[in-house]
Amino acid sequence: MNVIEADLLVVGAGPVGLYAAYYAGFRGLSTVVADSLPEVGGQVSAMYPEKPIYDVAGFPMVRGRDLVARLAAQAAVFDPTYLLGHRVQELVREHDGTIVATTHTGTEVRCRAVVISGGIGTFTPRPLPAGETWLGRGLSYFVPSLGAHAGQDVVVVGGGDSAVDWALSLEPIARSVTLVHRRAAFRAHEHSVARLRSSSVEIITDAEVTALDGGDLLTTVVVTGPGGSAARPAQAVIAALGFTANLGPIRSWGIEVIGNRYLPVNTAMATDVPGVFAAGDITEYPGKVRLIVVGFGEAATAVNNAAVLINPDEALFPGHSSDAAPALV
């Protein structure tokens, strides 16, 4: 068994987890970051790496992948250990306060505190009923790279933020973009829908993609609406139909869970299990607002309180980062 000893374990390598890793390093803590996904960035990297984000302080606009890259570079100054592709399966607190986390690969992390920044937990895209056999041959649920769709006829399915964002992002790159939504009203942000309606994206509402066709690769989709069915050329279908979230093993760690989804925390971002803190979308408390920028503040709060738990002689307030002047990369 591979055993790693550290001061702090961060569960989740999304934006909030990466910022927690930076702040732990700033506090002088040795840190392990574990995530079931094979790359850092969490939901941002997996679902909308190209999406423009407008509400991160100091950035008028930053794309998801760029934000993740900058957060990873910020944390890299303190050299955290990453366990990517490792799902933390068990979490046990021993009598002396040591917390032992075991991943599904058998790797064991022994630490003094944990920050859970698992976002919404594991997430699975809702399938497109007509197209599961085309997955990887023209059908996809995410857009890791906009450039892969250059010059293609792309059909985006869905009416939420991801569907509208991807349609708008692909518009200047693809040969054509069509958005198909089964309802007349969109769930996406009103401003994004207004941009969509003024774009060159063809919008088909009250309709569904009912068939995909082609040889080894996709060439045609069938769209069915009130007026009947029609085939149209498509080399790519992006199904943005939402996803189902699951806390997975976290539910078996002895932590209180609300609504099978959220972890209640106090003002120190502490859960009801001593030494276990949480930050980001997974947390719940009165007045909670689920934004990345809120998660950054929660991560700093959680890490600072964990630092005092690990070493009671430490001050809760660490001082200002400008006083320490770390050598940023």
Question: Quick one: which H or E segment has residue 47?
Answer: helix 42-47
CA angle 155, 69, 242 (to 5 degrees): 35
Beta pairing class for 263-264 and 99-103: unpaired
The answer to whether residues 300 and 23 touch, using CB atoms and an 8 Å cutoff, is: yes
Reduced to 3 states (helix: H, G, I; strand: E, B; else coil), residue 247 is coil
Residue 88 assigned ligand-binding role: yes
Q: Is 36 annotated as a binding residue?
A: no
* C-beta of residue 98 within 8 angstroms of C-beta of residue 108: no
**Does residue 117 have a known ligand-binding role?**
no
Q: What is the CA radius of gyration of the chain?
A: 22
Q: At 266, list the tokens.
A: 């106090």
Please give the backbone phi and psi of residue 249, each rounded to the nearest 5 degrees, phi first: -60, -20
Tell me if 213 is assigned to a ligand binding site. no
Q: Any known ligand binding at 78?
A: no
C-alpha 207/C-alpha 132 separation (Å) is: 19
Report CA-CA distances (Å) from 184 to 180, 187, 206.
10, 10, 6
Please, which residues have CB within 8 angstroms of residue 186's CB and are 6 or more apart in sequence?
Answer: 159, 160, 164, 193, 196
Return phi, psi of residue 231, to 5°: -90, 145
Backbone angle region of 175, left / alpha / beta, with phi > 0 → left and psi within -120 to 50 → alpha: alpha
The string over 124-156, giving b where at least 16 C-beta atoms fall within 10 Å of a residue's C-beta and e elsewhere, is ebeebebbeebeeebbbbbbeebeebeebbbbb
How is residue 294 annotated by DSSP?
Answer: H
Given a contact cutoff of 8 angstroms between Cβ atoms, the answer to whether 164 and 143 are in contact is no
Q: Is 281 annotated as a binding residue?
A: yes
Is 123 flagged in the annotation as binding? yes
Bind-site residues? 35, 43, 48, 88, 123, 281, 322
Bind-site residues for FAD? 35, 43, 48, 88, 123, 281, 322
